[in-house]
Amino acid sequence: MFGQPRSPRFRAALAGTLSAGLVLSIAACGGSDDSDSDTSSNASASAIDCAPYTKFGDIKGKTVSIYTGIVTPEDTPHINSYKPFETCTGATVKYEGDKSFETQILVRAKAGNPPDLAIVPQPGLLKQLVATGKAVVAPDEVSANVDKFWGKDWKAYATIDGKFYAAPLGASVKSLVWYSPKDFKDSNYEVPTTLDQLKALSDKMVADGKKPWCAGISSGDATGWPVTDWMEDFMLRTAGVDEYDKWVNHQIAFNSPEPTAALDAVGGYLKNDKYVNGGLGDVKSIATTTFQDAGLPILDGQCEMHRQASFYAANWPKGTKVSQDGDVFAFYLPGKDATTKPVLGGGEFVLSFADRPEVKAFQTYLSSDTWANTKAKLSSGWVSANKGLDPNNLTSPIDQLAAKILLDPATQFRFDGSDQMPAAVGSDAFWKQATSWITGQDTKTTVDNIEKAWPKK
Amino acid sequence: MSIVTPLTTGPEITPKQLSASAVAKKKLSSPWASLAAIVIAVLWTIPTFGLLVSSFRPERAIKRTGWWTFFSDPQVTFDNYKAVFGADGGVNMADFFVNSLVICIPAVLIPLALASLSAYAFAWIEFKGKNFLFLAIFALQIVPLQVTLIPVLEIFVKLHLTGTFWTLWLAHSTFALPLAIYLLHNFMKEIPAGLIEAARIDGAGHVSIFFRVMLPLLTPALAAFGIFQFLWVWNDLLVALVFAGGGNEVAPITLQLANLSGTRGTAWQLLSAGAFVSILVPVTVFLLLQRYFVRGLLAGSVKG
Amino acid sequence: MFNTASTTPGKLLQMLAALLLFAAIMGVILFIAGRLGRGKNGDKWVGYIYLLPAVLMLLIGLVYPGLRTIYESFFDAAGNAFIGFDNYKTIFTNEDELTVLRNTVFWVVFTPFVATAVGLVYAILVDKSRMESFAKALIFLPMSISFVAASVIWKFMYEYRPDQGSVKQIGLINQIIVWLGGKPVQLLIESPLNTFLLIIVMIWIQAGFAMTILSAAIKAIPDDIVEAARLDGVNAWSMFRSITLPSVRPTVVVVLTTIGIGTLKVFDIVRTMTGGQFKTNVVANEFYSQTFRADNQGLGAALAVLLFILVIPIVAYNIRQVRQGA
C-alpha cells in the first residue's frame, strides 16, 4: 500500500538535489570532469573548523536524526556532506529518506514522534508543522548564519509569528526554459530576452512547421502542479512582483483580473493547439504526460522548448550532454521586457523538533557556508542561495547558470506561490482545477473554483 | 452470477457421455472450457509478463517503445537488476529482506492464533452478546487504516515503542483481526456439528476440542488466510512507513522499493526489476502452502 | 527486548522473544479457559476469555480511532470549531464530491461481482486439471504484487503516445488499437471509461483472492454428492447450478463481502494511476487527500465516516446470514 510513486508535495524537495549517482550517469557533461567519486570522497573528508560546533558542548557519540523526502540516489551527496561534521565532532547523523515525507512528517509531528530535524520543502508545510506545537525555534547561531549568508526574504519565509524557525538549505530556479542549443543554432533561432520575443519565436517555429512547446503535468496525486508554476511565472511577469505577493497572500482574490489575465496568458501557450504538444499529442495530452517525460521530445527534435525548473537536468537520459553547447540546456524565461528579471524558485528549510546540543550544532553546520561549499563539490544539480557559496565549486553548467541567476543583483526572487498558499488551495484545489483547465474547463470557472476553495478565516 | 453464464455454457455443447468419466474431467476435456481457462489465464498474465520483459530492457528502450518490441528487436540488459541489488548504489537489499521476514512471521502467526480462538468462540460457544459482538468486529473491517495512524502512533510513543518491530507486529496483528475472525468463523461454521458434539460427549472441553478437532480440520483455511496475511504484510508500505519510522533498522523491503524509483519517480526500469525481486518470496510461499489447501477444506476428514 | 534491534541476529532474537512471549500469553489464556470450562456456566466464560485478547486489541487499535474520527467529523478543517453537519453537507452538495460518490458506487457494484465470477469460473475450470497448481499461480500472481509495481504494470497497458511521426506506443491497449487501424486514445482522461479501466486493475488483483478461497470450497464438496449427481447423468451446467453453486454459496458470500469492503477502502490504485483527477476520484482517496494533503481534517473524517455508513448494507446482509445460520 501507499506505493504512490509521487509524494504529494515533493516538488520543491526535488529542488536542490540531484545525485552523486547522477554525476556518474551524466559524466559526459561538461564541467563534471572534476566530480568523479574519488575527488568527492576527498572533498567530504576534508577537515573543517570545528569550533562553531563544539561550543555547544561535547557531543561525541551523540546521534542526530534527520528526516527528508530526498531518496536514492540523491541522498548520497547529502549523507556524504555530513561527514566533515561527524568527523570533527564525533557525533553521528542518522539520515532517513522517505518519498512520503510530506504526509508522514505531519503524522509523526502530530502524534508526538518527530525526528530531530526535518528538511521541509515548502513554507506552507513549515507553517503546518509549527502549528503542531512540536517544532523548536532556531538557535541564535543559526539565525546569525542566516542573517549573514541569506537574503531577508529567505529568512522571512521561515519566520512564523515573529519567530525564526528554519534555515534555508538549497534552492532551485524554476523560471527556466529547456531547449536544444544545437537545434536553435541550426534553425537560426535566438534565445528570447522579452516575453514578446518568446511569443514571436514560438510563432516562427509554427511557421517552420514545428510544434514549439512540450509540456506535461501528470504527477500522481500531485498532478497539475507544473501548471501552477507556469501561472506563477506569468503572474510575476504580466502583473509584477507586488501583485504577485498580494495574490499569494490572498490580499487580492484568486479570481481577480490580474491572476485571471496571467492564467489566460499561460493558456496562450499551453492551450494553443499550434504550440503544443510536441511529440506528445494534443492539448489534452498535457494532462496525462508525466512531468518527467514532458521535455524528452526535445532530444528527438519533436519539440523545441520545455519550461521546467533547474532540477529537470536530472531527467535527461544517460549520456545527454547538458551544457550551453550540448544536447540540451536552459535559458531564463524572459521578463516582460529585458530590464525586469523576476525569478520563480523554490527551496528547502531545516526545521528542528529538538533542542539538544548535538541537534543545534548540526543545524548550525547546515546553515553555514562551509556546508554549502562541501555540498556543492559533492553533487551535481544542486544550488543554494547561500551567499557564502563559491560558484566555482558548482560542478555542472546548469547549476552555474542557476547560481548566476540567483546571485544577479537585478533578480527579483519570489518563492513558489502555491507552496505558500494554504494546503487546501496550494496542494489541492489549485492542482485539481489546473488539470481540469487543461482538459477543457474555461479560465473563469477555474479561478472561481480555486477562490471558492480558499479557507475562510 | 449472470456473468458466469456465458463462460460456462461451453460444456453444454457436449451434453452426452453421461456416466463414463468424471464430469469434472469432462468439463476440462471440453475444448471450450479449456479455451476459456486459457483465455482468462493469458489475460491475467499479460500485464505482469510485460513487466517481466521490461525489467530486462534498457531504460531508453522502455521509455521509447512498447515491451512487445522486445520480440522483434531484443535488447537484453541486467543493469536494472544490478542496480536493484545495489551494485553501484551501495544499498544492502539483504538487510531489508531480513527486516521484512522478521516483520512478517509474527505478524502472520499472532493474528492467526488470536483469530482462530475468537472464531472458535463465535462459531461453537454460546454466550450473551455473541451475535452483536461478531457483527461489530466484522464491521470494523471498514475502518480505514489511515484514521488509525495518528491515534495508534500516539499510543506507541507513550509506550516508547516507536522505531521497533513491536509497533509493526502489534499494528499488523490488530488490523488483520476483523477479516481473519470473519473468514475463519465462516470456515469453522462449516465443520459438521456432529464432530463437536461427539467430542463433547467424550468429555472434551473447549480447549481440547479446539486443538484436537478444530485445528487439524482448519489447516487449509489457516494456510489460505496465512498466505493472504503474509502477502498483505509483505507488501505493506503504509503501516511500516508510519510506525517503523526512524531509519533502516526496521524498514521492510517495500520501503526500499518505493524509494528505488528515485526522488523523481521516473526509474521504471528499476521499479520493474525491483518488483520482480519482491514478488519472489510471496509466490514461493504461495506455491509451498498451496498443497495444504489444494487438498480441500474438509475433504477426507469429514468422512473419516 | 523492547529496543530497536539493529543486527540480524539481534532482530531474529527479538522476533523469537516476541513469539515466545506471545506463546506464553496464549498458554495463560488456554490454561484459564481450561479451568473456567469446568465451572458452572463454564462455556460462557471460555467464550469471553477466548475473545479477550482480540477484543482488547481491536478496542485500542480500531474502535478508539474510529470513534475519534466520528467526533472529528463534526469539526472544522483545523479541528477547533464545532460545525455540526457542515462537512457532510459539503460531501452531498459539492459537485466534485458527488462525482466521488458516484464513482465509489461503480467500484463497489462491479469489482466484487466480476472478480468473484472470474475467480469462481476459473477455479471450476482448472479444478483437478493436470496443471492446476501452475494455472492457479498465474491468477494468484497479481495478488502478490505490491501497488507500486502494479502501477508500473498498468502503465505499460494504458499509456498513451500520440499518433505522430516516429512516436511509438508503449501501452499495449493503444498499440492494439493502432494495429487494428484506429487512433490512439487517451484512455485515462475519458470519463467514465477511465473509472472502469481502474476498476479492471482492482478486479485483476482480487480475482486471485476469490479463486483461492472458492477453489478450497469447491474441493470441500463431498465426493459422494458429486458422484451421485454424476450417476444421475447430470451435465456440466446443471452440475454447476445445482451442486457446485449451492455448495459454495456461503463462501461466495464471504468472498463478495470481503472484496466489497476491500474495494470501498481502495485508494492506492486511484492515487497512483490518476491521482483522482479526470473524474476518477473515490471516497477513500478523497479522504486521504483531504486529511493528509489539503489539511482539512474535518472533511477527511466525515469522508471516513461515510465509508463506515456505506458498509452498513453489507453488514445488514451479513446479519441476515448470521440469523439464518443460527
Convert the pLDDT of each residue in B82-139 to its tens digit.
877 765 555 567 788 889 999 999 999 999 999 999 999 998 888 888 989 998 998 8
> How many CA atoms does the CB half-sphere of A260 hold within 13 Å?
14
- Tell me the chain A residues in contact with residue C162 when contact means C-beta distances shorter than 8 Å: 277, 279-282, 285
Confidence of residue B6 (pLDDT cuts 50, 70, 90): very low
Q: Write the residue in C160, C268, C275 that is nearest to A222 by C-beta.
A: C275
Of the partner residues A103, A218, A224, the one whose CB lies closest to the CB of residue C292: A103
pLDDT of res. C276: 87
Q: Does some domain include residue A381? A: yes
Question: Any chain B CB within 8 A of the CB of C34?
Answer: yes
Is residue A399 in some structural domain?
yes
Number of domains in chain A: 2
Residue B41 has pLDDT above 60, yes or no: yes
Helices (H), A208-311: 225-238, 241-248, 257-270, 285-288
Residue A177 pLDDT exceeds 90: yes
Instruction: Kindly indicate the confidence band of residue B299, based on its pLDDT and cuts at 50, 70 and 90.
Output: very low
**Residue in A409, A359, A367, A399 with CA at minimum distance from that of residue A386:** A367
- The answer to whether C194 touches C181, Cβ cutoff 8 Å, is no
Name all chains with 3 or more CB-CB pairs below 8 Å to chain C. Answer: A, B
Q: Is residue A328 part of a domain?
A: no
- DSSP bridge partners of A342: A412
Q: Are strands A159-160 and A163-164 parallel, antiparallel or unpaired?
A: antiparallel
Chain A interface, mutation test: which of B238, B263, B278, most A Cβ atoms within 10 Å? B263
Contact B280, C170 (CB under 8 A): no
| Residue C174 contacts A where some CB pair is shorter than 8 Å | no
B15 — pLDDT class (breaks 50, 70, 90):
very low
**How confident is the model over A394-453, as pLDDT tens digits?**
988 999 999 999 888 889 999 999 999 999 999 899 999 999 999 999 999 999 999 999
Q: Are residues A300 and A360 in the same domain?
A: no
C-alpha span between C51 and C27 (Å, rounded): 14
The third-level CATH classification (topology) of the domain covering B93-294 is: MetI-like fold (1.10.3720)
Report yes or no: A10 at the B interface, CB cutoff 8 Å: yes
Confidence tier at B295 by pLDDT (50, 70, 90): low
Chain A: closest CA distance from residue C11 (Å): 19
Using an 8 Å CB-CB cutoff, list chain B residues near C136.
290
Which pLDDT score, from 0 to 100, does residue A413 have?
Answer: 92
Whether C47 sits inside 8 A of B295 (CB atoms) is no
Predicted confidence (pLDDT) at residue B18 exceeds the cutoff of 70: no
Closest by Cα among A286, A283, A267 to A442: A267
Does C3 touch chain A if contact means CB atoms closer than 8 Å? no
Mean pLDDT of B266-276: 79
Show residues of chain C in contact with A2, CB under 8 Å.
147, 268
Which CATH number does the domain housing residue A411 bear? 3.40.190.10
Q: Which of A312-321, B8-17, B190-199 has the lowest mean pLDDT?
A: B8-17
Q: What local confidence, expressed as pLDDT, does residue C71 receive?
A: 95
Given the DSSP bridges, would you call strands A163-164 and A305-307 parallel, antiparallel or unpaired?
A: unpaired
Beta-carbon contacts of residue A418 (< 8 Å; ≥ 6 apart): A225, A228, A229, A232, A425, A426, A427, A430, A431
Q: Is C181 on the interface with A (CB under 8 A)?
A: no
Nearest partner of C125 among B179, B24, A212, judged by Cα: B24
- Give me chain A's average pLDDT, please: 86
Task: Report the residue of chain B nearest C110, measured CA to CA.
Answer: B3
Amino acid at B24: A
Does C147 reach chain A within 8 Å, measured CB to CB?
Answer: yes
Question: Does residue A306 sit at the B interface (CB-CB below 8 Å)?
Answer: no
Tell me what pLDDT residue A434 has. 95
Cross-chain residue pair A3–C272, CB shorter than 8 Å: yes
Is the separation of the CB atoms in C177 and B254 below 8 Å?
no
Whether residue A73 is preceded by a cis peptide bond, meaning omega within 30 degrees of 0, is yes
Q: Are residues A89 and A129 in the same domain?
A: yes
Question: Is A94 domain-assigned?
Answer: yes
Mean pLDDT of B159-183: 92
- This complex has an ipTM of 0.87
Nearest to A72 among B156, B260, B266 (CB): B260
pLDDT band at residue A8 using 50, 70 and 90 as cut-offs: very low
* Backbone CA torsion sign across A53, A57, A61, A67: negative
Residues of A in contact with B63 (CB under 8 A): 293, 296, 317
**A135 and A203 share one domain:** no
Does pLDDT of A13 surpass 50? Answer: no
Same domain, A383 and A252: no
Based on the fold, state whether residues A78 and A147 are members of the same structural domain. yes
pLDDT band at residue B10, thresholds of 50, 70 and 90?
A: very low
Give dist(CA A176, CA A312) in Å, integer: 10
Would A279 be classed as within a structural domain? yes
Does C40 lie at the interface with A, CB-CB under 8 angstroms?
no
- Please state the rounded mean pLDDT for residues C93-110: 92
CB A128 within 8 A of CB A154: no
User: Pick from A1, A8, A280: which is nearest to C268 by CB?
Assistant: A1
CA distances in angstroms from B23 to A209, B9, B11, B293, C233, listed in the order given = 68, 14, 10, 22, 9
Within a domain: residue A5?
Answer: no
B46–C44 C-beta distance less than 8 A: no
Given C48, C153, C240, which is nearest B51 (Cβ)?
C153
Q: What is the mean pLDDT of chain B?
A: 79
Mutate to test the interface with B, among C6, C7, C8, C15 (most CBs of B within 10 A): C15
Examine the pLDDT at B20 and tell me if it is beyond 50.
no
For the cut 60, the answer to whether the pLDDT of residue B157 exceeds it is yes
CB within 8 Å: B45 and C141: yes
Say which range, A23-27, B258-262, C96-100, C133-137, has the weakest mean pLDDT: A23-27
Q: Do A98 and B150 touch (CB under 8 A)?
A: no
Say if residue A59 is in the same domain as residue A86: yes
Q: What is the pLDDT of residues A214-235, one digit of tens each?
A: 999 988 778 899 999 999 999 9
- Cα distances from B238 to residues A100, A243, A246, A346, C47, in angstroms, run 9, 41, 39, 28, 34
Cβ contacts of C146 on chain B, cutoff 8 Å: 235, 237, 254, 257, 275, 278
The answer to whether residue A1 sits within a structural domain is no
What tens digit of pLDDT does each residue of A102-124 get?
888 998 998 998 999 999 999 99
User: What's the confidence (pLDDT) of residue A19?
Assistant: 33
Q: Say if the Cβ atoms of C294 and A424 lie within 8 Å.
A: yes
pLDDT band, residue C298 (cuts 50/70/90): very high
Q: Are A15 and A171 in contact (CB under 8 A)?
A: yes
* Neighboring chain C residues of A130 at a CB cutoff of 8 Å: none
Residues A270 and A384 in one domain: no
Q: Which residue of A has its CA nearest to B63?
A: A293
Q: CB of C307 within 8 Å of any CB in chain B?
A: yes
A426 with A387, same domain?
no
Q: Which DSSP letter does residue B85 get?
A: T
pLDDT at B107: 96
Looking at CATH, the fold of the domain delimited by C73-149+203-325 is given as MetI-like fold (1.10.3720)
Size of interface A-B (CB pairs under 8 A): 108
Cis peptide bond N-terminal to A277, omega within 30:
yes
Containing A351, the helix (H) or strand (E) segment is strand A341-352
Helix axes C8-36, B93-124, angle to 10 degrees: 10
Q: Which of B30, B205, B221 is facing C34, going by the closest CB pair? A: B205
Backbone angles phi and psi of B202, in degrees to 5: -70, 0
Q: Does C293 touch chain A (CB under 8 A)?
A: yes
Asked if C54 and B177 come within 8 Å (Cβ–Cβ), the reply is yes
Interface contact B163-C4, CB threshold 8 A: yes
Residue A68: give the domain boundaries.
11-173+345-415
Name the pLDDT band for B3 (thresholds 50, 70, 90).
very low
Query: Do A27 and A151 share a domain, yes or no?
Result: yes
Judge if A278 and A390 occupy the same domain.
Answer: no
Q: Where are the domains of chain B?
A: 4-77, 93-294
In this prediction the pTM is 0.86
Segment among A39-43, A396-400, C43-47, C230-234 with least mean pLDDT: A39-43
Question: Which grid cell is A244?
Answer: 504577485
